[in-house]
Structure formats: C-alpha cells, structure tokens
Amino acid sequence: MIRSTFLILITIIVISNLTFLSASSFSSKFYISKQNYVTAVLHNNKEKEIKYLKDLIKYGTLLKKDVSKYKKELYRLDRKTKYLKNRSTKKIKFKRNYKFKKTKIKSKKSKYNIKLIYIKNNSIVINFRNKINKKTIKFFETKKKNKYIDIFDIKGKFKDASPIKLKMDNVNRIKISQYRYNTLRISVMDSYNLKTFYVINNKQIIIKVIPKKKYKYKKKHKKVSKKKNIYKSKKVNISKSNSFLNAMKTIVIDAGHGGKDSGAVGPRRQYEKTVVLGIAKNLYNDLKSKGFKVYLTRSRDKYVSLRYRTRLANRKNADIFISIHANAARKARASKAKGIETYFLSPARSKRAKRVAALENRGDMNSMSYSSKNILLTLLNRSKITSSQKMAIDIQSHMLYSLRQFYGSKILDGGVREGPFWVLVGAQMPSVLIEVGYISHPKESKRIYTKKYQKRISKAISNGILSYFAKHR
C-alpha cells in the first residue's frame, strides 16, 4: 500500500515538471515567432509572414493568449487556406456568400466614387470612397475674357454635381460640374491669376488657393526695396499674426546616417550623409532666425547611434522631431524613380513604403533589441501618430509648392506615406522622416547636390513647420 502511494506521488511530480517545461518552451517559441513575423513584414516576405503567423496562433493558443488579431491577419494574407479555428465548414461557406454579396453592394456604390466636396481654410476638399493616386487628377490653366481659370479634372462621379457653385474668400467663382461621364471638373475663376496647388492624401485631394493679398503685397515691395528688406517685413508680419512664435517651441533636426554609415550612394559617388547634413544645417539656421529653439543630432560627418538621436529629442523635451534622408532605387529603376516624399511612423502596407523603410533601417536594426522593435506594434493607438500625419501633410505640400516655382514639373509628388522607421520609434513627440529626392536618379542627384536646391528645400520645410504650429497650437 505504501509503495503504491509513493509511486503515485512520483508520477504526479514528473508530470507537473513536464508541463512546466513545455509551457516555458512554448512561451519562448511564441516570442521568437513574433520577432520573426515583424522582420518578415519589413522585408515584404508573404510566405514567411504566413508561416510565423501560424506559429503565433499555435503557441498563443497553447499559452491561452488572445490570438484573434493574428487569425484576422492570416485570413487576409492567405484566403485560400482559410485558417480560421473553431469554425465549421458551413460557416465558412456562409462567409464566402456574404463576401460575394458585399462586393455586389460595393459595386453599386462605386458609381459615385466621390463622397463629399466642401471648403475649409481657403481650400477645396474632395473626399473619395476609395484610395486614389496621382493619375486621379489633372491640372491646367486657361484665360477667357480677362479671367484666369485654373481647371482640375478629377476621375470619378459626384452625385450632387448639377452643376454647383462654392464660395471662397478672395475668389470670384468656383464651379463644379460633371464634365464627362467619369470626369468631374472644378474650375477656379478670378480676374487675378491665382496661385493654386493640390495635395493627394490617401482618400482625399486638397486644392489650396493662395490669397491674393499675399502676392500683391510682395509685388509692391519688389520694385521699391531690396531682398533683405522684403525678408524683414515678412518676419515682422509672421511674428505679429502668429503668436505661437513667441512660445519658443523646441525642434530637433536629425541628419540621417553619418560617419561609417554613408547611406545611399549616387552615380558620381555622391553620399546621402553629405546631402542631408547640408539641408539639416540650412534648416537649423532658418528655424533659429524665426525664434525657435533648435538642436542638431549631428553637426559634422560622424556616426550617431539610433538611440542617441531620439534620446536627445526626449531629453530636450522637443515639440517635434524631423529626420532628413535621401531616397534611392535599384539599378533597374534608377533612371525612373524620382520625387519627394514625407513619412510618419506606422506599420507600412504598401510595397514602396516597406522598401524605403528597409533601406533606411539597414544601419540601425542590428543595434536594436527585440523589445525596441516590438514598440512599433504598440504605438498604433498613440495620439502622436495623428499629429505626425498632419505635420507630414503640411511639410509635403509646402515642399511641392516652393520647389515647383523653380523646377516646375521636374519635382514629382511621392506623397505622404506611413512606414516603420526605427529612427522615429523612440521619439515621444510628433515626428516625420523626409526623403528630399532620389540620389540614385541621374538628373535629380545633380540637383540635390547643389547648394541652391538644399537652401530652397530647407526653406520649404521650415514653412511647413510654421504652418503646422499655426494650425495646431
């Protein structure tokens, strides 16, 4: 009797030890799978994404964790396998039928893909039902009977275009009509040649109209005074009308790469680290002259670790963090890829954003721990993401408008995008990463390397920052 009791006790101890060991091994496998999944997302490797998602679901279920988000992501990536647990075949069939019906409803709605048009802050805002690109809008100018007309042809249909007229300060007439079956036309008419530009943002187009008063004011001073006097008079106007300059905002500017990390290399051995340092210094001087407190993460050609860059911004209690970089493409696309882009922190969905993120993160990822990388997944609900997106839109629109005055259609709009850049992860304030052009492009690389271009783009970035602070005090 004693012997049998003793044997039972031994078996209970052995089983409990085995379960403890298996639980700890499952936990380590779960976190390794999580790390591998993040890496697969960055490298845009869908096969590995599916593989590690399956592992996450497997080990997460064994550890009794909530794996619903991983199931949803897996279902989105691999619809053929329909990896949905605890669902019968009847339910899956019902889901297919439901999806089929849903697409039918969508196709009916897509007849009018333009959702809403309204006026806000001297801008015409067009909201769409689906995502749009550069091909959605075409712009040209014309003149009829002493009236200047800026015409925007937009691909799509608007239900309330019959035609309609909108009212805006300092603009004689804004007409909206369904010009053709699938072309909406917006005409901005005035006796004065207005300056207009547009920004494409995901499901929205914003057409900005510059007020007449600003340009009349400039013309008067061009004949009478020198350039220095014009700059001074502008400065006085800004400080009077915008009280936020007196609040002494703090800005940290990060010139990407440096030292042993040269960044991208152009066709004539032009280094990204040199270009971005020149722009960062110009931006530093420009913002200093406007009353801001400004700090540089590096002021010379030296290597600076990722942690130091964001740590400096946090230590100085910066209001915003700006990281400056130059883009690059593979040899096969080097002669075609060009344009300026602005990124804010968020997990990237587009292939282009993932490619750029992989290029810019290359020098920093090795020094980062898994916990630092995992911060990316927990940042989605932070309020700074929204602020960063708004700042990115302001900077991108000012860069486009300013540079096109000098270079015209040569400046392409790469848009405002989201991407997982590790240099932005540690910053505790609104932050953006600016790609000032493609250093791999034969012609654009020449332009980027000139001091004129560097001064012009830094001036445009500073105006974008001013605009952001003016709107979001």
Quick check: 225 pLDDT over 60?
Answer: no
> Residues 118-162: pLDDT tens digits?
888 888 899 998 888 888 888 888 888 888 898 999 988 888 776
Sign for the CA dihedral angle at 454, 387, 243, 170 comes to positive
CATH number of domain containing 197? 2.60.40
Structure confidence at residue 13 as a pLDDT band (50, 70, 90): low
> Does 277 fall in a domain?
yes
pTM: predicted TM-score of the whole model, two decimal places: 0.48
> Residues 202-214: pLDDT tens digits?
889 988 887 665 4
**Interatomic CA distance for residues 342 and 379, integer angstroms:** 19
> Does 141 fall in a domain?
yes
> In 181-338, which ranges are E strands?
183-190, 195-201, 204-210, 250-255, 293-296, 320-327
Total domain count, the chain = 3
Kindly list the distances between the CA atom of residue 222 and the CA atoms of 196, 219, 226, 228, in Å, as whole numbers in the listed order: 21, 5, 7, 11
Domain that holds residue 62: 27-107
- Least confident range of 167-176, 181-190, 238-247, 392-401: 238-247
Q: Are residues 299 and 440 in the same domain?
A: yes
Q: Are residues 91 and 183 in the same domain?
A: no
Kindly list the distances between the CA atom of residue 333 and the CA atoms of 344, 428, 435, 441, 449, in Å, as whole numbers in the listed order: 24, 36, 17, 9, 20
Cα radius of gyration rounded to whole Å, the chain: 27
> Residues 449-458: pLDDT tens digits?
999 999 999 9
**Chosen domain end from 107, 132, 161:** 107
Q: Are residues 62 and 161 in the same domain?
A: no
**Chosen domain end from 46, 79, 107:** 107
Quick check: 391 pLDDT over 50?
Answer: yes
Q: Are residues 439 and 353 in the same domain?
A: yes
Tokens of 87: 């669902």
Average pLDDT over every residue of 390-409: 93
Residues in Cβ contact with 11 at an 8 Å cutoff, skipping those fewer than 6 apart: none
